[in-house]
Amino acid sequence: MGKIAPSILSADIGTLAEDIKMLDEGGADWIHVDVMDGHFVPNLTFGPNVVAAAKAVTDLPLDVHLMVEEPEKMINGFIEAGATAITVHAEATKNIHQVMQHIRSQNVSPGVVINPGTPVSFIEPVLSIIDMVLVMTVNPGFGGQAFIPEMLTKIKELDQYRSDHDLQFLIEVDGGINEETIQLCHDAGADVFVAGSNIFGAPSPADQITKLKKLVN
């Protein structure tokens, strides 16, 4: 069962609560929250208060994607705000193993993210202690970018590694997901599909969620 995780990066911040309720009623599986610090990526977005605001209007899992430098300094705020899962870029910390252990110790689901230029081999040492790998299918920072097709090889490599080592982590993809690329990623082995502009740019975001869901189930 593929899961659809709409990204609220593409939501209207003025009507964020209504937008999240609409995604929930529209059949979203998770809500994806893109946290950007203006350093790791050249854009600045949400803090823990937005996670808390989302928590107040939905029971859906809150999938917090931290695009921040020194994530260890910020993680506790997002845990206290009610994050269900926290994914951290392997490029953003010298202590990715420890960060994953810490998130787990707080009963939050830990995941590791890799940028398009980072190989799967870089995160192999943590694959047995995490719940999810997020494969960036665009360079992080902005919504609405084009999918990078070379990332399909990485998804396949992770899927193979997972079965070879009898592991259960989910594979999530993020960036440039649309009706076409979602099928390519699903065929390659991905389980969770983040989509921002494709959902919010559709005439009916709820119908678009239904459409994407059908393509991966």
**Positions in the binding site for ligand DX5 (CB under 6 A):** 7, 9-10, 32, 34, 65, 138, 140-141, 143-145, 174-177, 194-198
Which residue, 23 or 164, has its beta carbon nearer to ligand DX5? 23
| Minimum gap (Å) between residue 62 Cβ and Zn ion | 13
Which residue, 176 or 189, has its beta carbon nearer to ligand DX5? 176
Listing from the earlier edge strand, what are the strands of the sheet with 3-6? 3-6, 192-195, 170-174, 132-136, 109-114, 85-89, 62-67, 31-36
Question: Does the annotation mark 24 as catalytic?
Answer: no
Contact 82, 51 (CB under 8 A): yes
- Residues forming the site for Zn ion (CB under 5 A): 34, 65, 174
The single residue of 37, 63, 174, 191 carrying the catalytic annotation is 174
Q: Which does 138 bind (CB under 5 to 8 A by kind): Zn ion, ligand DX5, none?
A: ligand DX5
CB atoms < 10 A from the CB of 80, how many? 12
Q: Which does 195 bind (CB under 5 to 8 A by kind): ligand DX5, Zn ion, none?
A: ligand DX5
Rounded distance between C-alpha atoms, residue 70 and residue 89, angstroms: 10
Rounded distance between C-alpha atoms, residue 133 and residue 120, angstroms: 10
Q: Which does 143 bind (CB under 5 to 8 A by kind): Zn ion, ligand DX5, none?
A: ligand DX5
Rounded distance between C-alpha atoms, residue 60 and residue 173, angstroms: 19
Residue number of the CB atom closest to Zn ion: 65
The single residue of 34, 37, 63, 191 carrying the catalytic annotation is 34
How far apart, in Å, are the Cα atoms of 120 and each of 24, 115, 135? 33, 10, 9
Tokens of 38: 């203006």
Which residue, 48 or 176, has its beta carbon nearer to ligand DX5? 176
Q: Which of 114, 105, 111, 49 is nearest to 82 (CA)?
A: 49
| Minimum gap (Å) between residue 120 Cβ and Zn ion | 19
| Minimum gap (Å) between residue 53 Cβ and ligand DX5 | 18
Active-site residues: which are they?
Answer: 34, 174
